[in-house]
Amino acid sequence: MKNRVVRSSLLLRGRAAPVVTGGLLGLALGLHASASPAEPLSPRRPPLPIVQLTHGRVADFRVSGFATSADRGRIEVRGAGPCRFHADIYDLAKPSSLQHSEFRKIVDPGTLPVVFDDIPPLPRGSYRAYLMVYDEVLCAIKGPDPKAGGWYVDFKVAQATGPAAAPAASSGPTTPPQAPGGATPGAPKPATGKLAGLSVPGGSFAEDDAQKLLATGQGGCGFDLSISDKSYGGTYEKTWPVLPRKLDGGATLYNGTHFGTLAEGSYHAVATGTGGCTGTGAIDFKVTAKTSTKKVLGIPTVGFDREPKSGGVFSASKDGNIWFKVTLPKAVKDEPYAGCCDVEFDYQNEFGGWEPLPNSPFQDSSYGLAVTQPAGVVNKSVSGFTNGTVWRVKVRAYKFKTEFEWSDWLQFRVDPK
């Protein structure tokens, strides 16, 4: 089967907010930040007792086919559902360089395997394929390295010879991303900054808050983020690779995107620069008890009500607007007083990493018709997407002291000129 190929990083109590109908600047400013993750990943706390959950597990993770730079590859995940995860491939010579990603494969209860086949060829080199699940309560994963925040497999690609020596060109999101301002580099800008510190905005967060860490420093920097509670008598210890972020103004790291959701307890976190970035940062912090009293299961969908008119890129001159279409599952629609939606927009920076818009995730009630109608359709001006040309978005419902699940990421390209 063919799979959508994207370039991205690794793999979450609602209050009323003003209606937003303008461009991205309006989206990013003056809105309340959502404070409830959508899907706890905690390996140490049971799910809320008010819902019945089916447990899954990942039993094996395999990579094959990448013998030479002319060969297309295959990723296979075996086990039992339900599991939500993404598989990323990194160049080991440039640890912050993401080569390929498969986003959030959703597996209904039943038997895996899930296969990602026909993955475009990779240049000669050494690579690491990394698998991360999104909910360790619903899906258990334990690879050969118990300290890794997932399961990884290392492999090598040899140089092909003969007529097929050059990798076949691929279409879609595997083309090089455009940097902010419209220039198309041959490769992401080297991330050779310096990491200086790691902190927790507000000093602490609840288990069901939007869990955030803040990395600071100079320039662009990719790093490994390790979190452990062993110094406080626990057994939790995991490490996640974080694609390059801009550190000068502070880079916010989110649970479910950059690290797994943490259970109530005390933790020590360390960030260590990789791939040309130097420096470290560390912080000790607490995660307090949950504040929500209910969790509603059901994954929303976000897509396009109208496709781009030309070349798979939304153009300010040809399209004018991007029409987003949000559909909510029945369980969410049936929840009294639920609203829609919490929204997170990320753009790809010049280093190849993802930068969330300020105050993400934020509430945008212009999607509210998704609660009462088959779908909610909202248009956003292409000219408002000025931070970059490669974007992604995800949504979820909101309600006070109620937890909802996020949609999968929807990735798209824009030409704001």
Q: Which residues contact 171 (CB under 8 A, 6 or more apart)?
A: none
β-pairing, 410-415 vs 313-315, is parallel
Q: What is the per-residue pLDDT for 150? A: 74
How many CB atoms sit inside 10 A of residue 94's CB? 19
Fold designation for 56-159: Immunoglobulin-like (2.60.40)
Q: Which residues contact 282 (CB under 8 A, 6 or more apart)?
A: 198, 268, 269, 270, 271
Separation of alpha carbons 416 and 381, rounded Å: 9
Q: Which CATH number fits domain 24-36+294-415: 2.60.40.10, 3.30.70.100, 3.40.718.10, 3.30.1280.10?
A: 2.60.40.10
CATH number of 194-288: 2.60.40.2950
Query: What value, to the nearest 5°, has the Cα angle with vertex 199 and ends 17 and 13?
Result: 25
Q: What is the per-residue pLDDT for 12? A: 34
Q: What is the per-residue pLDDT for 193? A: 94
The 8-class DSSP code of residue 162 comes to: S
Q: What is the per-residue pLDDT for 253? A: 93
Contact call for residues 161 and 124 (beta carbons, < 8 A): no
- DSSP calls for 280-328: EEEEEEEEE-----EEE----EEEESS--SBTTEEETTTT-EEEEEEE-
Same fold across 56-159 and 194-288: yes
Separation of alpha carbons 405 and 398, rounded Å: 10
pTM (predicted TM-score)? 0.60
Contact call for residues 44 and 19 (beta carbons, < 8 A): no
Element (H, E) at 119: strand 114-119
Domain ranges across the chain: 24-36+294-415, 56-159, 194-288
Span between the terminal Cα atoms of the chain, in Å:
35
Structure tokens at 396: 């979820």
- DSSP calls for 348-409: E-TTS-EEEPTT-SEE-GGGTHHHHSS-EEEEEEGGG--S-SEEEEEEEEEBTTEEEPPPPP
The three-class DSSP label of residue 25 is helix
Separation of alpha carbons 314 and 383, rounded Å: 10
What average pLDDT values come out for the chain (417 residues) when binned by 10 residues? 38 38 43 38 37 62 86 82 75 67 56 73 86 68 72 86 47 32 49 95 89 94 93 90 90 87 94 93 95 91 93 91 96 96 92 85 93 95 92 94 90 88
